[in-house]
């Protein structure tokens, strides 16, 4: 974003500057002018919250559309959240399953949906690609491929 950092726009309302429609998302962006030049541009929703708070929002503050319709810039539909809170709303963290690697005994965790998918297919889950390759190599050296592994069991290679 180009602009003069020291120059701060006034959070005036109604907004006397210009805003444009962003083609793809139909979201309005406010173009903030000083006397002659553009200071900054931002989403109109963000601009409205600057007005409501009477301050310029920090870069770690996000404006969230409560009904998730990003074209609905009604002030009652807007909410200021931290980046973390905002990410959580749009990308809720998947529940995780804690496992012990059957090859190296390392503790690790994977997302529950991935765990379910892989165990359904009968896959043994390793902490890493390396461990899975190591185990595959072990299997091809005479040890039956489908070893009923107890989680956390270390398998020793017998020659």
**Distance in angstroms (rounded) separating the CA atoms of residues 128 and 112:** 17
> Should residue 64 be labelled a site residue for Zn ion when binding is judged by CB under 5 A?
yes
The continuous run of DSSP H or E covering 83 comes out as helix 83-90
Q: How far is the CB of 66 from Zn ion (least distance, A)?
A: 8
Contact 30/75 with Cβ under 8 angstroms? Answer: no
**Distance in angstroms (rounded) separating the CA atoms of residues 42 and 28:** 9
User: SS3 string of 133-156?
Assistant: HHHHHHHHCCCCCCCCCCCCCCCC
For residues 145, 150, 154 and 159, what is the CA-based torsion angle, rounded to 10 degrees? -40
Q: How far is the CB of 141 from Zn ion (least distance, A)?
A: 18
# residues contacting Zn ion (CB under 5 A):
7
Site string for Zn ion, 109-128 (x = CB under 5 A): ------------------x-
Residues 85-104 that bind Zn ion (CB under 5 A): 101, 103-104
Cis before 14? omega within 30: yes
Token pair recorded at residue 139: 């299997």
> Should residue 41 be labelled a site residue for Zn ion when binding is judged by CB under 5 A?
no
* The one segment of 12-20, 45-53, 62-70, 142-150 that binds Zn ion by CB under 5 A: 62-70
Contact residue for Zn ion among 11, 49, 131, 135 (CB under 5 A): 131
Q: How far is the CB of 53 from Zn ion (least distance, A)?
A: 17
Which of 39, 100 has the CB closer to Zn ion?
Answer: 100
Q: How far is the CB of 10 from Zn ion (least distance, A)?
A: 26
Q: Which residues bind Zn ion (CB under 5 A)?
A: 64, 101, 103-104, 106, 127, 131
């Amino acid at each position: 974003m180009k602009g003069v950092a020291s120059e701060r726009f006034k959070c005036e309302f109604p907004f006397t500057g210009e805003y444009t429609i962003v083609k793809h998302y139909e979201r309005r962006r406010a173009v903030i002018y000083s006397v002659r030049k553009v200071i900054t541009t931002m989403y109109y929703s963000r601009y409205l919250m600057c007005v409501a708070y009477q301050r310029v929002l920090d870069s770690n503050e996000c404006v969230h559309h409560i009904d998730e319709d990003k074209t609905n810039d009604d002030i009652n539909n807007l909410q200021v959240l931290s980046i973390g809170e905002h990410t959580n709303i749009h990308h809720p963290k998947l529940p995780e399953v804690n496992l012990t690697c059957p090859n190296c005994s390392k503790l690790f965790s994977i997302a529950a949906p991935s765990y379910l998918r892989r165990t359904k297919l009968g896959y043994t889950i390793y902490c890493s690609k390396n461990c899975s390759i190591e185990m595959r190599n072990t299997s091809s050296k005479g040890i039956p491929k489908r070893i009923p592994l107890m989680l956390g069991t270390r398998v020793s290679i017998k020659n």
